[in-house]
A and B are shown apart, each in its own frame.
Chain A
């Protein structure tokens, strides 16, 4: 480096004769990255995974632009709808409360079987004349029946299956404790399906009689013009007439428990899940690189101290502390809770990368080419940028790829115990947790988000395998 001073003579500036090369490279030189890419391309599974990851990125970023449905918009008329064809509804008058029908309660018949026991009503008394007061719609089903002599009230049941042959009456939709009230209006979660309504009379003690009467009711899907306008399905309530049919918004993947579009929620949920899944690893890998390379470079007492601290953090029980940190940071009103989760993840997960990078740095530092580079006068920054980082990049990239699925799992787990992102922010984890409760009746609410989680995790795992094979010669062969 230090050039000793000596005199140049003219002979020093003569052109050197061109020598014929003794060796030629017949193939173009292949850089490390080109070689890695070539090997990755040969790995069919990794390549497919790469395409899946790209597709997921497209789904996440471009999806909401193509499928412009608000993921927060609630369609309470189509709650928990399975994937299927678009629904049609008839425009009707707005709902008006109904006073119901009243009748004079009849006294118990003298000498009936129950009269002796003092119950006042035969134990097998069944109401008669159960009828629809007006056509049944999804707005309301209005029923009336004839009073039962001696009854003190009525119990109303509704089933979505035939009550026969075993007399399974279904859900107790109402208990009427006024014997004069001989009608009932059902508004509970009505869908355009057949219902079996049953009425049972109550005796003087409020106990149900054994007899019952059942009516099969077909409901039709309706909506009032005003409602349709509020929901933004039609532009002007005045433009449609009673009896017109309108097509309800179409939900290709069905809706969730509040009637929100699943497809749209999956897209926005992907934003949250993949954001956490990608950004958190990026952040803690960066922290790990800085920390680890600092420890590796400085070495000595500082290295010891830094790595001892990293050991402590590694020893913290991960999930327990995720929960603790999550609560400690808190989620303010209206916040999604993504940020506290990121912070908690970074706080707990950096040491693994730090250890790895430090090991790499220590190893590379001893390599001959580093010594050669130093001899040629390379500065530390140059060493780091030119040699250290590119040579550790492969290992880091592999770590990064494997960190994504584990972070996605962590997010899902936290959602499962109710400590995930705050509503109404969707994430795949919180969606599958909600879907788990409705697993039996509305499986699509669980299946779609669970499939997305599984495919993503799988793709990143296989891609990680492929990258490891392609990038890290020393780690090749392990599947």
Chain B
């Protein structure tokens, strides 16, 4: 094969051929002609390809970030929604999209208060609950939304064949856990449609926060006949979904474009001002999003990085902030063979950890707050904010004291030097930066040898589950608006307790918080859990995550929330400037 680079050519050194001879002139003219022909051909080829590709059919001419006349806003997504099947959904992008096109029994309003959704009124008792559905609620094909649709969706979610990761969120229902284990048929679920508009729920145990659970995405309805008609492709494409929320998906080109249009069958359609929410860009690249905003193509840039802040200020764009509700901390491995099982070593780590320095000098994003507890500051307690009712014990960084604890730890462990400590981290840029910071900090203050173990998401999880770490950078976001969404994380039976922290008193407090219906008792239990976690150094809090974003000033009424679909554009409106 003639693959070798034309070895047959002779080395003939061409003299400086005068380019002014007729041949060269002609050649130059020919090249110019060919260049024109090539450009024309290239453009024609582009046209042919774009005509041939299916994508053009769905693409719309760009209307800019905000179009007042058609009531259209244009935005970007950070990733393609991986899963729009509400029974299986786990990620926030899908949750955001689904929150615009679906509605549960209850929903969060613009002020983040629970508001009636499909349910008109409800009654929650200690042994169960009843929901009365509104008559006018409709699916996007005009059919009424009935109690059967909820029962079907919930039975599907707990059905072991569905293998939903969120099946546990139904465990307050009678028999739900047994069904999920495959011990009972799905029909045994403690949820029953008394009539088309009345839904009866039976509890396995009393639950104090059931109204908050019902607003969760896994509780959205699914209509049985439609689900079965999709033959396993439910929610795989825009046509494979039926909508009962304020919007419906009209375009879903995977990886490229999602377009939401107002659902004319939505019962509360008068409250909806926007006609179209268009996501024609899917990019995780923060610079690309900023460039699009600067170009007037998108109305919102979410999650500004510290590195782009100076540019944003120079452009004089309005910056806003909110907390996304997640708490980030060190998971600590408490297994006996790990040095971190030693209390004094953990104490030393806690005392040199300076969340203030981390947030102010390393992360450098306003909106992040130094972490003090597993329970974030926004959580509601009995009457006011939980953290105001039960302030977290304060830990002041103290290097000298930390070194004393370290010496003590060395004596107890019987070693001259603490063995290298493995710090497990995600492969995101932010996590690497923090890991590098901690590596340097712990070396500088305690002389500890920190080995960073940077892994992709799945491998990090696998390693965390197997306990192959000493410290792990870890974050947890809330599922529902109750301290329990954080509070049971370090119960000895919780599978997310990767460090296998076991504390009988904490376990007892978690049981109280789960089973009691008296809010005062429950909050006291959470208060005690918070104390134990810090006093025993079960974890070391790092920060609460904030989000900085830019929003076109003409766009108003966008809901930002820590629990539920975020951001919520469903009730937004445009003001003409």
Contact = CB atoms under 8 A, between A and B. Distances in A.
Asked whether any CB of A lies within 8 Å of a CB of B in the complex, the reply is: yes
Interface of A: 72-74, 76-77, 79-80, 97, 158-161, 166, 168-175, 187-189, 230-231, 257-258, 327, 330-334, 359, 418-419, 422-424, 434, 436-442, 473-478
A330 B4 contact: no
A271 to B, nearest CB: 18
A302 B5 CA distance: 26
A48 B9 CA distance: 27
Given A76-B361, A172-B320, A173-B366, A475 B429 contact: no
Contact of A441 (B11, B311, B357, B428): B311
A434 B433 CA distance: 10
A345 B485 CA distance: 46
B366 A171 contact: yes
Contacts of A158: 366
A423 to B, nearest CB: 5
Interface stretch (B224-232, B451-459, B514-522): B451-459
Nearest to A330: B459
Contact of A230 (B359, B422, B445, B451): B445
B287 interface: yes
Interface in B435-449: 435-437, 439-440, 444-445, 449
A402 B364 CA distance: 43
28 contacts: A74-B437, A74-B440, A76-B357, A158-B366, A161-B316, A169-B318, A171-B548, A172-B366, A175-B321, A189-B361, A327-B456, A330-B459, A331-B453, A331-B454, A333-B423, A334-B420, A334-B449, A334-B451, A359-B4, A422-B454, A424-B439, A424-B452, A437-B287, A440-B311, A476-B11, A477-B9, A477-B11, A477-B13
- A-B residue pairs, 5 tightest by C-beta: A334-B451, A333-B453, A477-B11, A168-B316, A438-B307
Given A79-B361, A334-B453, A474 B7 contact: yes
Nearest to B454: A422
A294 B455 CA distance: 40
A189 B306 contact: yes
Given A334-B452, A424-B452, A434-B429, A187 B307 contact: no
Nearest to A226: B399
A161 B313 CA distance: 7
Contacts of A257: 307, 433
Contacts of B9: 477-478
Contacts of B4: 359
B307 A73 contact: no
Given A189-B360, A424-B440, A424-B452, 20 more contacts: A74-B437, A160-B313, A161-B314, A168-B316, A171-B313, A172-B366, A187-B356, A189-B361, A257-B433, A333-B424, A333-B452, A334-B451, A334-B452, A418-B429, A423-B432, A423-B436, A440-B308, A440-B310, A441-B311, A477-B9
B440 A72 contact: yes
A80 B364 CA distance: 12
B194 to A, nearest CB: 40
B437 A258 contact: yes
Nearest to A430: B432
Interface string B339-364: 00000000000000000110111101
Interface in B5-44: 5-7, 9-13
Contacts of A231: 444
Interface residues of B, number: 63
Contacts of B359: 188
Contact of B313 (A97, A159, A418): A159
A166 B432 CA distance: 38
Contacts of A423: 432, 435-436, 452, 454
Nearest to A189: B364
B478 interface: no
Contacts of B183: none
Contacts of B559: none
A384 to B, nearest CB: 22
Interface of B: 4-7, 9-13, 286-287, 305-311, 313-314, 316-321, 356-357, 359-362, 364, 366-367, 396, 399, 420, 422-424, 427-429, 432-433, 435-437, 439-440, 444-445, 449, 451-456, 459, 469, 548
B356 to A, nearest CB: 7
B422 A437 contact: no
A172 B7 contact: no
A170 B313 contact: yes
A160 B321 CA distance: 18
A188 B366 contact: yes
Nearest to B10: A477
Nearest to A168: B316
B310 A160 contact: yes
Contact of A258 (B362, B420, B455): B362
Nearest to A169: B318
Contacts of B287: 436-437, 439-440
Contacts of A330: 455, 459
A169 B312 CA distance: 11
Contacts of B7: 474-475
A332 B274 CA distance: 51
Contacts of B286: 437
B268 to A, nearest CB: 22
A230 B354 CA distance: 15
B453 A332 contact: yes
Residue of A79, A440, A473 most packed against chain B (CB within 10 A): A440
Contacts of B456: 327
A246 B435 CA distance: 30
A168 B307 contact: no
Nearest to A434: B429
A439 to B, nearest CB: 7
Contacts of B364: 79, 188-189
A76 B362 contact: yes
A163 B574 CA distance: 26
Contacts of A160: 310, 313
Contacts of A174: 366
